[in-house]
Structures are given as C-alpha cells and as structure tokens.
C-alpha cells in the first residue's frame, strides 16, 4: 500500500516540476503504482515537452487505458503534432488500440506526413500497426493508400489487400490507370507477388489498364504486365510469348520471361515447345518442373530419352519430375524393368516419393524390385553397428575423400550444406565432423528418429494428380510454399486435393544402401575428415 502523502507528492512532481526529466520519472512512477488516470494522461498530452506527450501515449496504450477522450486527442495529435517522436509513438500505439477504436483515422493522418517518408521508424511502425487490422477494412485502406505521402506504404497496402482478398484486385487494378509512372513498377511488383501461384478473375478494369502498361517504355513494367495478365487469365499475349520462347537467338532475359509466364498455368498449347526446351541446358532445369504439371505421355518419354545427356543437377530435377505423378512413375519403372534406365539412379529419395503416390501397381513394382523400404528399429540399429565396424576397421588412407564429395553432391547437397557445398534445407552439416562417425550413421540410417519441427515433411496431392513432398516454408490464407529437394513451389490451397503432414524427415532412410561399399566409405570419410 503506497502512503497517501507519497501519492500526493508524486502527483505534484508530475504536474509542477520544472525539469521535464523529473516529470517523466513521476509519470513512470504513477504508471507503476496504478494512479495514472484519464485526467492525468489528457493533461500530459498537452505538455510542451515532446517526450512527455509521447510517453503519455505509450502508457495509455500499454495499460489499455486509451479511452474515447484520449483517442480523440491522440487522433488530433496525429494530424497536427509537429514532433516526429510523438508521431512515432502514435504509430506504435495504433496496434494496441481497443476494439472499436477509430484506428484508421489515426493511421491516415500519420500517412499524410510526407516529412516522415525517409524516417527510419515511423513508416515501418505504421505498417506493422495497420497490417494486422486490414482484413475487414480494405475500403479504408485503399482510401489511405490514395492519400498517403509515404509512397511505399501505398504499394504495401495494395499488395496485402490482394493477398487478403482476391476480389481486392479489381480495386487495385483500377488504380493502375492513374498511378504516377514513377511508382508503376513498384505497384506492379507488389501485385505480381500477391498473385503468384494464384489464378484470379479478370478485373473489369484490366483491359484498359493493360493498354497503358504495355505501352510503357520500361521493359520491367511490360514484363510485370505479362505476369499479372497471366494471373488474371489474360492469354492475349501468349502467342507473342511463344514466339519469343521459340526464338533461340532472342536475348536470354526475354526467353526466361516468356517461359515464366507461359509456365505458370502451365500453357498446354505450349507443350511441344516446352518439350523442345529440354534440349537446351540453359533452360532445362526451369522447364522440368513445368512439365511435371502436364499429364502427357510425351513428357516422360522425352525426359527418359534424353536423360543420359543431362548434367547431374538436371538429372536430379528430371527424376523429381518423373516421380511426381503416377503416369510418369509407371513410364519410369517400365524403363527400369526393360533395362532402358539404370536402376541405381533411383535413390531412397525417389523410392519414397514413388510410395507417396499411393498407387497399388507402383507399390507392387517397388516391393518386387527394391524389397521392403521401411526397416524396423532393430534392423536400423544393426545397420548402424555394421557400418560403424566397417568404417573403423577400413584402411581409410586408401579411400578418396574427393570422390566422397562427389557422392555428397549427388545424394545430399540438394538438402544440406557442408563446407560451402549444397543448399540448406535440412540442418547445416559444416562443423559436425567432430561428432564422429556414429553421429552421421545414426542420422543417415535412421533420419526419422529425431525430426525437428522445421524439417518435418508434408505431402500435397493436387487436383490435377501432381504429388509433391517437401517442407512448408510459407503459408497464408490462399496458398502455401513447399520446398522440395529441387525447387520451391507455391501452390494455391484450392488446387490441393489432399494434404498429409508427416512426422518423418524429408531425408529418407536407405541413402547409404544406394551406394557401393567403396562409395559408402568414401562418403563417410569425406563427412568425418577434419
């Protein structure tokens, strides 16, 4: 219990001290003992010292004491207060306003302070305060975006509005007809990002806006226009893009752009052209994931026929494509059974992906050709002991660590980084050499024993029959992004027929068994050599 005389002295200090620092200390102390009421806060909001005003806003928000009278006063300060310190505290306090508060009025007032556009804190704090509240307030946010003097804030609002509600694209596209040319690329970049992996209804304003956009002198604007048009189902530019893609003498950036736009659907009439691109090393790794989404017998036939000419990274991408849908997998397994495709090219990664297809014919073929694919815990422990004994007794000086690096790049580098090689999807391996051979064997032979939540696998089956396994790296209301061993894929949730989370690691068991005895020791030597 605080003595009443002490409270009176504290209140006097807060009101009457000539030193702003002492008054600020009094304000903090009053807050801590719970005597800071509406009257005191309103009085402090009128103080000439900017830090006293700012802290009154902060404490009102922290204690959820932002009463209607205080809100009205703070809203007026958002319009007229000349202090960037005060405006910064208002921007932060918006996110702590009570339900029903007129936060949009404060946000719009702050957004009109063009002098804050280069401030390190205010624009970001303002965005962080309004973004969580935008759903259900899109009309007010478009109104704010049209009047803000902080240009990038308008671009963020248009981007996030379309992320939250695809119907907002109609309002966003209408704004493209009048937006200043200097902001056009930023606005289109945001809208292209918001529509990535999604197909939206064609906004009524798009045909008119597209005429202006395609006439731009900026090639980046024209390319973004193609991307956005494809997201809206506008195929009017596809003949031009097909011509550009087919022209091997065209600049690479033009062909890559054409492929990105035509491939997002993908554009089925472009299939013959897509198949021709397999012959081009520069575009091969890009076109293979596109072909994975086109259920045509010509796709596996072409890939299998050209597979031997591919570089190792392209072979990995090709195998990912061939194991993504049952019709492709049957063609692949048929080639294996007829000795047209080497059996040992299929690693444990590919065998497990084939089992995710849930196709009885494929499962039967795998069982007959590879045997049981899930050893028991006791069998795994025996394997670990056997590998460890072999490694410890082997004359390691006779084994080539450089060859082990080649094995690592073929089997492991698509998920792990080690000494500068590879991609970090799974745990970083650099520095793990000191853990010894047992550590590596336990994680390679039994990767599902301990699976971090960040490395748990998810399998998605799309409505078009595509089956993809990987790690979910991003998700919103409409889409999710899955990282496989070869690519990052953004998929609309409406396109997903089945989503199956797993407590299994993305890394399958059986990787070592896919190598010869010598290759096993070369890989293990490379991983453990300090």
Q: Where are the domains of the chain?
A: 4-192, 449-506
Residues 6+ apart with CB under 8 A from 492: 197, 198, 199, 478, 479
DSSP reduced 3-state for 462: strand
Q: What is the pLDDT of residues 49-84, one digit of tens each?
A: 999 999 999 998 887 678 889 999 999 999 999 999
- Say if residue 266 is preceded by a cis peptide, omega within 30 of 0: yes
Q: Which of 287, 273, 367, 283 is nearest to 321 (CA)?
A: 287
Instruction: For the beta carbon of residue 31, count every other beta carbon within 10 angstroms.
Output: 20
Q: What is the pLDDT of residues 162-174, one digit of tens each?
A: 999 889 999 999 9
Q: State in Å, rounded, how far the first CA of the chain is from the last one.
A: 65
Q: What value, to the nearest 5°, has the Cα angle with vertex 72 and ends 68 and 74?
A: 115
Domain made up of 449-506: CATH architecture: Roll (2.30)
Q: What is the pLDDT of residues 292-344, one digit of tens each?
A: 999 999 999 999 999 999 988 888 889 989 999 999 999 999 999 999 998 87
Is pTM beyond 0.95? Reply is no
Q: Which of 150, 202, 210, 200 is nearest to 176 (CA)?
A: 210
Helix (H) or strand (E) segment spanning residue 469: strand 467-475
Q: What is the pLDDT of residues 390-446, one digit of tens each?
A: 888 888 888 887 888 888 887 777 777 777 777 766 677 776 666 678 877 777 777
Helix 184-195 and helix 151-164, axial crossing angle in degrees, nearest 10: 20
Under the banding of pLDDT at 50, 70 and 90, the label for residue 449 is: low
Q: Which of 430, 399, 433, 412 is nearest to 514 (CA)?
A: 412
Instruction: For the beta carbon of residue 488, count every other beta carbon within 10 angstroms.
Output: 14
Q: Which of 347, 333, 267, 269 is nearest to 304 (CA)?
A: 333
CATH number of the 4-192 domain: 1.25.10
């Amino acid at each position: 219990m605080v003595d009443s005389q002490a409270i009176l002295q504290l209140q006097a200090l807060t009101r009457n001290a000539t030193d702003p620092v002492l008054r600020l200390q009094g304000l903090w102390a009053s807050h801590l003992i719970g005597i800071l009421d509406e009257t005191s806060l309103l009085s402090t909001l009128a103080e000439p010292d900017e830090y006293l005003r700012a802290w009154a806003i902060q404490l009102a928000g922290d204690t959820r004491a932002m009463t209607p009278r205080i809100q009205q006063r703070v809203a007026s300060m958002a319009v007229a207060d000349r202090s960037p310190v005060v405006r910064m505290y208002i921007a932060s306090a918006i996110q702590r306003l009570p339900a029903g508060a007129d936060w949009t009025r404060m946000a719009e007032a702050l957004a009109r302070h063009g002098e804050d556009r280069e401030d390190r804190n205010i624009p970001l704090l303002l965005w962080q305060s309004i973004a969580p509240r935008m759903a259900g307030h899109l009309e007010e946010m478009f109104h704010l975006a049209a009047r803000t003097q902080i240009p990038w804030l308008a671009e963020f609002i248009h981007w996030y509005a379309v992320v939250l509600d695809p119907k907002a694209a109609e309002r966003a596209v209408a704004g493209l007809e009048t937006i200043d040319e200097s902001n056009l690329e930023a606005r289109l970049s945001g809208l292209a990002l918001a529509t990535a992996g999604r197909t939206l209804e064609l906004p009524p304003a798009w045909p008119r806006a597209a005429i202006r956009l395609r006439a731009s002198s900026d090639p980046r604007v024209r390319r973004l226009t193609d991307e956005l048009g494809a997201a809206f189902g506008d195929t009017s530019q596809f003949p031009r893009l097909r011509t550009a893609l087919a022209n091997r003498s065209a600049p690479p950036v033009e062909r890559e752009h054409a492929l990105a736009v035509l491939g997002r659907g993908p554009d089925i009439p472009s299939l013959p052209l897509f198949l021709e691109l397999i012959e081009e090393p520069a575009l091969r790794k890009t076109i293979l994931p596109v072909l994975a989404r086109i259920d045509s017998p010509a796709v596996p036939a072409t890939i299998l026929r050209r597979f031997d000419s591919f570089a190792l990274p392209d072979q990995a991408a090709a195998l990912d494509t061939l194991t993504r849908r049952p019709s492709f997998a049957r063609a692949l397994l048929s080639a294996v059974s007829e000795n047209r495709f080497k059996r040992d090219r299929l690693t444990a990664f590919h065998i497990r992906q084939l089992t995710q297809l849930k196709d009885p014919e494929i499962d039967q073929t795998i069982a007959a050709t590879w045997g049981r694919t899930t050893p028991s815990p006791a069998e795994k422990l025996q394997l670990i002991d056997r590998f460890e004994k072999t490694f410890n007794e082997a004359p390691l000086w006779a084994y080539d660590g450089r060859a082990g690096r080649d094995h690592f790049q073929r089997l492991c580098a698509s998920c792990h980084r080690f000494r500068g090689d590879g991609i970090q999807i799974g745990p970083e391996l650099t520095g793990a050499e000191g853990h010894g051979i047992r550590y590596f064997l336990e994680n390679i032979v039994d990767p599902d024993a301990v699976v971090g939540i960040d490395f748990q696998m998810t399998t998605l089956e799309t409505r078009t029959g595509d089956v993809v396994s990987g790690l979910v790296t991003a998700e919103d209301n409409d889409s999710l992004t899955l990282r496989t061993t070869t690519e990052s894929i953004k998929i609309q949730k409406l396109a997903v027929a089945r989503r199956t989370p797993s407590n299994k690691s993305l890394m399958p068991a059986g990787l070592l068994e896919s190598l010869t005895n010598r290759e096993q020791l070369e890989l293990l030597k490379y991983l453990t050599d300090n």
